[in-house]
Amino acid sequence: MVGSPGLEADNIMLSQDETAICILDQSLLPNETCYLELKQPQELYEAIFSLRVRGAPAIGIFGAFALYVLAKQNSTLQDSDSFFQRCQQDRDYLNASRPTAVNLSKMLDRVLHKAKNLMHCGVSEMIEAMRQEAYAIQAEDIAMCQAISEYGLSLVQDGDGILTHCNAGPLATSRYGTALGPLFLGKERGITLHAWCDETRPLLQGARLTTYELQQAGIPCTLICDNMASLVMQNGTINACFVGCDRIARNGDTANKIL
């Protein structure tokens, strides 16, 4: 099941029988490419808590699929009220793995809400609605990443140098990525962009993940330590700066945490 991270939505997917979630373990990158198959509540919780899956959109997609997988395990509860209560407990348990991750709670609530609206129809209908919503969440993220990538690519030119910080590529999302998306889309269209990647201390998302993604896709990149960014910019090597951020205000202001 080895794929090419960044070209397809293969960092998070349901198993063929849809009883488990398959993820690329980000905690082992770049030294080891390992896919995990998770189905037990403790495994799903730990994957988020230990950053095996990370990046706000990716966590939301993972949470949606996880709640659906657990719902299938609870299908023996034929009473709609009992089934929904169990789903609600699973939702709260998964959300506790990363309570500050807005995408996680939001997507969990979306999937749970679908089940709640069909309590009068029966358990099987509730599970199918949860399944469809989880897939819809992933599809929406793919569409958003495509749109962001298209817009970002329109702001740069062939041969430009791009400074990156943190990791906002396909590993953190579903396809292309957000801030890194223009580089992957540019590669597909024959546009050469060179990425200058901050290491992003202390977890080294830039050093471990961003450079890994870019190298896998054949995109030229140079890893620099964080305090070299100003020097590289002073030398005229940088034409644009694409960074990951936790929040974006309507006026365009951005914010990211410092650990």
Where does residue 244 fall: left (phi above 0), alpha (psi -120 to 50 degrees), or beta otherwise?
A: beta
**By C-alpha distance, which of 174, 233, 244, 215 is closest to 30?**
215
Active site residue 226: no
State the Cα torsion 211-206-99-112 to the nearest 10°. -30
- Pairing outcome for strands 161-165 and 240-243: parallel
The torsion angles phi and psi of 254, rounded to 5 degrees, stand at -125, 160
Choose the catalytic residue: 79, 92, 158, 246. 246
- H-helix or E-strand spanning residue 221: strand 221-224
Count CB-CB contacts under 10 A for residue 12. Answer: 26
Dig out the tokens for 57 from the structure.
């959109």
**Cβ distance 22 to 212 under 8 Å?**
no
Contacts within 8 Å (CB) and 24+ apart, 236-239: 237/161, 237/196, 238/161, 238/162, 238/163, 238/196, 239/156, 239/157, 239/160, 239/161, 239/162
Name the residues annotated as catalytic.
Answer: 246
